[in-house]
Amino acid sequence: MFIDDAPGPVFRPPSEARSFILRVTIGCSHNRCTFCSMYKDSSYRIRSLAEIDGIIERGARAMPYVRRIFLADGDALVLPTASLLHILKKCYDTFPQITRIGAYATPNDINRKTPEELQALKDAGLDILYMGIESGDDVVLHHIRKGTTGERTIRAGRKALAAGMKLSTMILLGLGGKERTREHALHTAQVISAIQPTMLSALSLIIPYGSPLYEEVRAGTFTPLTARGFLEELACIIRDIEVTRPCIFRSNHVSNLFPVGGTLPQDKESMLLNLETFIPQADDTCPLLNDNGNF
């Protein structure tokens, strides 16, 4: 739910479906990832605090029952800490029933903040960050122009958790293509194990029409995984993740071929058993391509 006349699409994590979406930026400050077309047509800007205050006031008048707020667009944590503290206070002062505020954050956004800044944001009510890891493999991260490395992603995730925030992370199956599926799986599991996030979602790669990655497939330099390849990669990642704290794991997005879910580490074996039972039934065609080899 949102009250806004700003142009451009609005995205939020599935778990924020009932939240009031407060767009503190329009678009994504990075906007370079080769697989992402979410904000390609948005002209990026940080909204003024006066503009944001006005939306909060209108939202609270129209929906005083709101209990959760999600700060959008693509990487709300890019805002200066002073601005975020102002917005958090305004939200808690204006919406009478708020219990939680969350935001998207890139690893670079988190690493730019000091531990003290992150602690101040947590103390002001920023409870959960959603961080797209995508891959733990530096070659893949460089290739997709994520603008970070596995080591920087680990540092960011640990910083958010050390501040007491919940950390929901996303990885993208198939992002290394056939060429790098083993490294993508291995290094992604290593990064997850090093962070030990609160939540982990494994989505499957969808290649947007006209994106740089789409052009690579057309040129034959990136080979998308087959249905079986996606599932084998997912099994490798689950098998290799070693966490000692509970991590809620979901791979049940509309992009996924087979729903898998549970809590790591205790549900690891049952999730693997389900998956490995289904893998032989998956075929060797690419779910992204039609019979003619086109999207």
Binding site for ligand SF4 (CB under 6 A): 28, 30-33, 36, 38-39, 74-75, 106, 132
Least distance (Å) between residue 183 CB and ligand SF4:
20
The three-class DSSP label of residue 209 is: coil
Least distance (Å) between residue 20 CB and ligand SF4:
20
Which CB sits closer to ligand SF4, 25 or 190? 25
For residue 216, the one-letter residue type is E
Dihedral sign computed on CA atoms, order 80, 53, 12, 10: negative
Which CB sits closer to ligand SF4, 73 or 232? 73
Least distance (Å) between residue 213 CB and ligand SF4:
12
Fill in the DSSP letter of residue 282.
S
Least distance (Å) between residue 11 CB and ligand SF4:
8
What's the rounded Cα separation, in Å, for the pair 295 and 291? 9
What's the rounded Cα separation, in Å, for the pair 124 and 117? 10
Which CB sits closer to ligand SF4, 36 or 205? 36
Which CB sits closer to ligand SF4, 27 or 224? 27
45-46 and 25-26: which strand pairing?
Answer: antiparallel
Assess contact for 172 and 205: CB atoms under 8 A. Answer: yes
| Token output for 20 | 């009031």
Which CB sits closer to ligand SF4, 32 or 218? 32
Least distance (Å) between residue 192 CB and ligand SF4:
18
H-type helices in the chain, by residue range? 49-62, 81-94, 107-112, 115-123, 138-143, 150-162, 181-195, 212-219, 227-240, 268-278
